[in-house]
Amino acid sequence: MAEPQGLKILTYPDQILREKAEVICDIDEGLAELADKMIITMQDAPGIGLAANQVGALRRIIVFDGNPSKPGGNPRVLINPEIVEKEGKIVHEEACLSVMDFSAEVTRSEKVRVTGVDQTGKPIALDAEGLLAVCLQHEIDHLDGVLYIDHLSSLKRAFYKRKLKKLLSGD
């Protein structure tokens, strides 16, 4: 059997990044294959998280590094993730595989409890703080069609849009 290949990461302003992903009702072989390809894509990028929207699949599945301070060592899959508790505030520099050449400080909850299921359908409750909490909030936002740049001031968003226009035109 061939080794699974990575997927193409869509970039802003691709419209699929603004769409809400659908709840997954059936965990099947196709979903397992998508999860495997998403992990490869995330690690090849390299990144610490990836949502299905970013690879053109409108399904509520994310992959992330369970220990983002040591990237690559602990890939995890979460299906139908939901933030059920939030606590505190943290300001963290964020970037995104779908937002080219830009990073910015974003305010998020410092601690979160996220629920969902794994690839076998087993319920998961995950308590996260710091960078892992930021990563989970960032990826779950993607599933709702929200990008981290949406959390910025209109001035910073306008700056990024001008920068992107220049990048795309080759100026």
> What are the catalytic residues?
139
Question: Nearest 10 degrees: CA dihedral of 34, 145, 132, 90?
Answer: 170
Dist CA 35 CA 168 (whole Å): 30
| Residues ≥6 apart with Cβ < 8 Å to 26 | none
Tokens of 112: 């979160």
Q: What's the chain's Rg over C-alpha atoms?
A: 16
CA angle 83, 84, 89 (to 5 degrees): 70
Residue from 92, 136, 103, 96 nearest 13 by CA = 96
| Residues ≥6 apart with Cβ < 8 Å to 103 | 93, 94, 95
